Each structure stands twice: as structure tokens, then as C-alpha cells.
């Protein structure tokens, strides 16, 4: 299990944002904190955050696992330099069970730098096992109750990419 209650700050200073990876055998919980992988300056990419729960090969006490993100923020914004803007970052959430994004202040910001060009980021959320065509015990509900921003820059670029792979959906 992984339980986080404080903000993790992995911002990039003169280029790309940071990278945060967590893989656990059972559950991941993030409450009243967040992960800041912004690129601060330099026209950099917004960083990468990956949370992977329910990987039974690592051990644990239950089959599968869940991800609960409560009143937290994911910041993966690109930065600008004198002539161009960086793209938004990437968020990957994978659980062999339920994924919930909820609570006051729940926000994902994966936008490009606001001036110049740059594309919005990428979000991928998967709350099921390897067979999306059959409902099985490790297929979890997906609940999204928060704000999501994946904007392009003001002078060019594409909006973000949002991919869901889930058998059950609630609250979208």
C-alpha cells in the first residue's frame, strides 16, 4: 500500500518537469496533497506521473487494488521561453480495481504553456484487467469528480488527449 497526505514537488527548473512512478501490490491513496511535476521555465514538457495499483506479483493481501485520489491536485504544466512553449505533461492511472478522483479541490492540470505554441497533455485511466470485453472480479468502477485541464498554447498546438479504458463508469 501507498498512502500520501502531503504534496510531492518534482518541478523542473530549467527544462522539463519531473517524473513520479509508484507501483504497489494493493492500494494507492492520495489525500489533501498532490504531485507537482510542472516545468517552471525554459519551454519544457510538463512532467510525467504514473500510479499503478493492484500488481499482485509484488505481493499484498487482496487480489487487485484501488486508487483513491481525494481533494488532491496533479500539476503537469508546460512552461514557456522567449520563443516557444512546452507541452503539457502525462498522467497514467492503472488499477486492477476501482479508481476514484473526488473531493473539494480535485484538479488535473496538464496544459501547455499559455503563450506561444504547445499541445495539451495526455491522461490515461484504466480500471480493469486485460480483457475489456468481459466483466470480471478485478474490473473496477471509475468515478471522476473534479476539474481536468489539457489546453494548448495561445498561438498553436492541439488540446490534450484523454483515454479511458473501463468496464464500469460512474459520475462522468
pLDDT (tens digit per residue) in 133-163: 777 778 888 999 999 999 999 888 899 999 9
pLDDT for the residue numbered 21: 98
Q: Are 87 and 129 spatial neighbours (Cβ–Cβ below 8 Å)?
A: no
Task: Compute the C-alpha angle 166/167/171, nearest 5°.
Answer: 70
Mind listing the pLDDT tens digit of every residue in the chain (172 residues)? Answer: 999 999 999 999 888 999 999 999 999 999 999 999 999 998 999 999 999 999 988 988 999 999 999 999 999 999 999 888 999 999 999 999 999 999 999 999 999 998 888 999 999 999 987 777 777 778 888 999 999 999 999 888 899 999 988 766 555 4
pLDDT for the residue numbered 159: 92
pLDDT for the residue numbered 83: 84
- The structure's pTM equals 0.91
What whole-number distance in Å separates Cα of residue 112 and Cα of residue 121?
Answer: 7
What whole-number distance in Å separates Cα of residue 92 and Cα of residue 128?
Answer: 14
Instruction: At 115, list the grid cell.
Output: 503563450
Q: Which residues are paired to 102 by β-bridges?
A: 70
pLDDT for the residue numbered 161: 95
Instruction: At 100, list the grid cell.
Output: 476514484
pLDDT for the residue numbered 172: 45
Reduced 3-state DSSP string for 23-60: ECCCCEEEECCEEECCECCCCCCCCEEEEEECCHHHCC
Amino acid at each position: 500500500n501507498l498512502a500520501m497526505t502531503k504534496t510531492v514537488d518534482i518541478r523542473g527548473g530549467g527544462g522539463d518537469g519531473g517524473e513520479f512512478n509508484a507501483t504497489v501490490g494493493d492500494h494507492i491513496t492520495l489525500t489533501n496533497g498532490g504531485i507537482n511535476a510542472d516545468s517552471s521555465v525554459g519551454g519544457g514538457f510538463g512532467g510525467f506521473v504514473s500510479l499503478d495499483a493492484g500488481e499482485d506479483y509484488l505481493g499484498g493481501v487482496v487480489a487487485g487494488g484501488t486508487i483513491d485520489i481525494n481533494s488532491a491536485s496533479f500539476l503537469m504544466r508546460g512552461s514557456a521561453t522567449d520563443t516557444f512553449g512546452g507541452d503539457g505533461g502525462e498522467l497514467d492511472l492503472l488499477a486492477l480495481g476501482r479508481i476514484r478522483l473526488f473531493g473539494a479541490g480535485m484538479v488535473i492540470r496538464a496544459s501547455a504553456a499559455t503563450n506561444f505554441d504547445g499541445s495539451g497533455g495526455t491522461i490515461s485511466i484504466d480500471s480493469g484487467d486485460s480483457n475489456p470485453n468481459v466483466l470480471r472480479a478485478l474490473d473496477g468502477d471509475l468515478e471522476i469528480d473534479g476539474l481536468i485541464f489539457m489546453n494548448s498554447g495561445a498561438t498553436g498546438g492541439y488540446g490534450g488527449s484523454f483515454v479511458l479504458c473501463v468496464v464500469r463508469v460512474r459520475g462522468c
